[in-house]
Amino acid sequence: MQMPRVRCATCGRPTAAGPVAGRPGRGRLWRHDDPNASRRYSGPLVSCTGSLEIVELPAYGYQLEIGLDAEQELITPLF
């Protein structure tokens, strides 16, 4: 599954955003490092402060809806 890319409001980096349950059209940015932050090779990776923010997704997220007909099809008699 390919996640949509959304620009982080803090660092401006295009970052993958995964859907948030119960909030269609909204997503949470994945953790990412700030490209402008200085980092030593042996030092820890510090995430951007915009990581894990809830943002608007570029395309509306659709939620799976199961109607009564589909539920009846799932029920099969044993005998």
Instruction: Note if the pTM is more than 0.85.
Output: no
Structure confidence at residue 25 (pLDDT): 83
List C-alpha distances in Å: 59 to 21, 22, 34, 53: 15, 16, 25, 17
Structure confidence at residue 2 (pLDDT): 77
- C-beta neighbour count of 29 within 10 angstroms: 24
pLDDT along the chain (79 residues), means of 10: 85 89 86 77 78 83 56 60
Q: Find all residues with CB under 8 Å of 37, minimum gap 6, and list them.
A: 46, 48
Q: Which two tokens stand for residue 28?
A: 């949470």
Structure confidence at residue 33 (pLDDT): 84
Domain ranges of the chain: 1-79
